[in-house]
Structure 1
Amino acid sequence: MSDEVEGRAATPLVDEALKKAAVAWVRVPDGPALALWCVPLEGALFVVSGPGEQTAPGLAGATEAEVTLRGDHGGRIVTFPARVSRVEPESEPWASVAPAVAGKRLNASGSVTDLVRRWATDGCALNRLEPAGPPLAGSALPDDSLAEPPRETPAVRQTRKPFRLHRVRRR
């Protein structure tokens, strides 16, 4: 069987997983997998990153990525290679895609028009992740959880002793 036939045979799985995706694990080459908020649209996933939005190091300049979609209970459904392309402001796709993605953005301040304008002027990246090959299946899927150790962060809090309402006396 050729890759094209295998890709088409697996496409319904990817298409169905794409339709239900709200969060995708995206790994760019030489980077960790990041959980990113996404919007399924036109058979692809759209991801916004940049100032005031989620951080996705390396995604804005990437041409390919590996996308993993999970189900309602957290189990991995499918992992597939994706072609990454940036939707530029003032382009024809931007006029239709950006408002649709902005309409799905939860907890955004301002209207959809304000949000789209902010994305265009503040240097945010709207990326399209389109399936670019057959999904990984069988022995190609890793057996481990793909969990990584927590990354270093300046947000550290001191561990305190537990609060006690009253003093406990021991006999």
Structure 2
Amino acid sequence: MTADSLSADALLDQALVEEATKKSGLIWVRSEGATSTLQGRGQVVPSRALWHVWHEGAVCVVGDGPGEQPLPGLADGGSAVVTVRSKDKGGRLVSWAAHVVELAPDSPEWEAAVAELKGKRLNAPDGEAMPARWARECRVLRLEPTGSTLPLPDDDLAEAPVASPATTRQPIPAGVPRLLFGRRKRK
């Protein structure tokens, strides 16, 4: 390969990462090398679905505060793998390596990122007071692409859902199939 084809490939990879990530409202993020000590066992932290915005060449996410998404294993100076799904079909489009940078509250970079994130945050309980709450209680992270795309995994990556008090396993009510499919009247 020549230097020109290498730089062309790098530019195409960069364009793919940027466009796919901009268009997808949801990304899957896994911290590299992070382990969880849940229930006394060291386990690799699984990928988490995160809402985000693409801002100034990187993904910006907010979380780890009350009512916000968890950001397990993502630490300032760490690395992560970001997998972007297709908005149309939902399948994986591209995976890329990222460098994690935590933005200091009220810094110019933080203000710019929060202005973008604020517009994408759905169902915020505090509206205009949200940035002040984020500064007090949450972390705002930038996931900056390192320039390398990663091969998509061959397996399905299916995992058990994260334990949550919001999930229940109960049989569906008897009337639901009738409501969904209805009964056709005979003539």
Alpha-carbon contact 1:27-1:34 (below 8 Å) kept: yes
Q: Which residue of 1 aligns with 2:36?
A: none
Deviation at 1:152, TM superposition (A): 3.9
TM-score computed with the length of structure 1 as normaliser: 0.81
TM-score computed with the length of structure 2 as normaliser: 0.74
Partners of 2:24 and 2:172 in 1: CA distance: 41
Q: Which residue of 2 aligns with 1:68?
A: 83
| Cα distance change, pair 96–160 in 1 and its aligned pair in 2 (3 A) | closer
Q: Which residue of 2 aligns with 1:167?
A: none
Per-residue Cα deviation, 1:77-116 (whole angstroms, up to 9, x for no partner): 100001110111021211222122112211112334x111
RMSD: 2.4
Q: Which residue of 2 aligns with 1:101?
A: 117
* Aligned pairs for 1:90-129 within 5 A: 90-112=106-128, 114-122=129-137, 124-129=138-143
Alpha-carbon contact 2:21-2:27 (below 8 Å) kept: no
143-152 vs 81-90, which moves further: 143-152
Matched, 1:27 2:42: no
Q: Say which SS state the counterpart of residue 143 (structure 2) adopts.
A: strand
Per-residue Cα deviation, 1:100-152 (whole angstroms, up to 9, x for no partner): 2112211112334x111000112x0100011112212xxx3211111112344
143-152 vs 11-20, which moves further: 143-152
Q: Which residue of 2 aligns with 1:81?
A: 97
Q: Say which SS state the counterpart of residue 160 (structure 2) adopts.
A: coil
Q: Which residue of 2 aligns with 1:43?
A: 57
Partners of 2:139 and 2:54 in 1: CA distance: 16
Q: Say which SS state the counterpart of residue 133 (structure 1) adopts.
A: strand
Q: Say which SS state the counterpart of residue 7 (structure 1) adopts.
A: helix
Q: Which residue of 1 aligns with 2:160?
A: 149
Q: Which residue of 2 aligns with 1:131?
A: 145
| Cα distance change, pair 161–94 in 1 and its aligned pair in 2 (3 A) | closer
Q: Which residue of 2 aligns with 1:168?
A: none
